[in-house]
Structure 1
């Protein structure tokens, strides 16, 4: 315990309890020109109300063993942000299930998985958490860096939800790693957490988007499969460097430069009046970090 020193001058983690309001008639294919991509994101959204409560429970338990005041503060911020995330994803997922009731079966499988995981050692769970959070750094760089390709012309509410989520993943990117290293450390456990956590969330997401594509009649289309394979390859191409660099000795998430768009988004949010939802303008191909409301 105490093998990892926590930087004492980290920015505060801002908890934004944003009540995204989704139109009940929202089209699950929220990007009409990219139905496969729409469902890939939908599948990821489906995991959040199971993954993120698991992460919150894990770090809350670990918090009991932490004396470092900066790390305690960061963990509380982490829990606040993750709690806001999964509640908003749950609202959206309930709308998805109106069109795809079979998603309830996918949710049941995830619920069973995380019930089992919650019984494993705290070290195992923290390694999973740190591994998953490392993978999201690559995902954030991809989604924000390629936002024009991935979100231009798409539904503004879904786009705003996803990119807000990615901004806050960037803001708390150090926390799970710091907590794992502070309490346990260990190189190979960290590697296992990265591999297993990333694979498990990806596999769970895949079950969701397969179910939706099957109902839409797209799963057996070779064009649809090719589109999916290309998107997965793009994610691996952009996300793998983040995972690989985390395995280099001396790595710390804080050494990774954040996309400028993240701080631009946070600055724009500060100027919003209370209660306003930060809706991005997807009609602008650049999707600038300013809000249309």
Structure 2
């Protein structure tokens, strides 16, 4: 498959839209990190939510865009929608493979379809607060995944690892957009706080429903050793993500004040230099998981 048509590097202005068609071998193992089956399924559960969560976010910001007052913000919202659209399309391709191994995942998808349909009936302020809140939580997730990439992705399947880390790079690039759009239209502190808490935990709960079903099918859910490893991974995530959520509650907070991991800019620079017919696959056999791509 061919990679996307290149658009300007973020430093040149604007949000880069990379329509990267990640390809997944039909025989790919759902436990894409052989040494960490519980972590593999935690990530699989998160992937399952993306084709339901991200279209909801896109619809919300598209509706809010009509009332935005700042031209740069409007341009950034268009970049946000394009990046999120590319994300869920790639996750959907991967999820279709997962469902061949775990057909019971369709039950989780049906629940999410109903929930997001119900959410769509709520006020724009509620939906935009959910969007801004969830996007805030992803900053902590990005820090965790990138800072601990050596442990989380070493010797793992490069296509899944590269998909996840590309997604996190772009979450960093558009980290200000949903927050700025909410502030531009509403700016109320407490609804945004509720959106942060509810949005973050709702997506985590949906992810949990997915990975529980996969762990049960694999015969791991009722094993004490597996449950302990799972709790350990959940605790690691919460320890890293919680500070990102808490700092967003400080008066005067803005996502732009948070320093991005250096690995993000290195990945973007490496991608900008990549031939257009190459999908940006990371070398997971390299212990450092560097921001450069296997040829």
Question: What TM-score do you get using the length of structure 1 for normalisation?
Answer: 0.96
Task: Answer yes or no: is 1:62 the counterpart of 2:64.
Answer: yes
Deviation at 1:10, TM superposition (A): 9.5
Partner of 1:120: 122
Instruction: Please say if residues 59 and 126 of structure 1, whose CA atoms lie closer than 8 Å, have aligned partners that are also in contact.
Output: yes
Partner of 2:215: 213
Partner of 1:3: none
Instruction: Please say if residues 138 and 238 of structure 1, whose CA atoms lie closer than 8 Å, have aligned partners that are also in contact.
Output: yes
Partner of 2:20: 18
Q: Deviations over 1:7-29 (max 9, x none)?
A: xx994110000000000000000
Aligned residues: 285
Structure 2, unpaired ranges of 5+: 1-10
Task: Answer yes or no: is 1:195 the counterpart of 2:165.
Answer: no
Structure 1, unpaired ranges of 5+: 1-8
Q: Pick one of 25, 32, 35 that aligns with 2:34.
A: 32
Partner of 1:80: 82
Rounded Cα–Cα distance in structure 2 between residues aligned with 1:66 and 1:125: 15
Rounded Cα–Cα distance in structure 1 between residues aligned with 2:75 and 2:25: 36
The DSSP-based 3-state class of the residue aligned with 1:125 is helix
Partner of 2:107: 105
Rounded Cα–Cα distance in structure 1 between residues aligned with 2:12 and 2:142: 20
Instruction: Please say if residues 123 and 184 of structure 1, whose CA atoms lie closer than 8 Å, have aligned partners that are also in contact.
Output: yes
Instruction: Please say if residues 69 and 184 of structure 2, whose CA atoms lie closer than 8 Å, have aligned partners that are also in contact.
Output: no
Q: Deviations over 1:62-111 (max 9, x none)?
A: 01111310000000000000000000000000000010000011100011
Rounded Cα–Cα distance in structure 1 between residues aligned with 2:62 and 2:287: 40
Rounded Cα–Cα distance in structure 1 between residues aligned with 2:35 and 2:51: 27
Instruction: Please say if residues 152 and 285 of structure 1, whose CA atoms lie closer than 8 Å, have aligned partners that are also in contact.
Output: yes
Rounded Cα–Cα distance in structure 2 between residues aligned with 1:131 and 1:279: 30
Partner of 2:269: 267
What is the root-mean-square deviation in Å for CA atoms of aligned residues? 1.0
Runs of 4+ displaced beyond 3 Å = none
Deviation at 1:275, TM superposition (A): 3.2
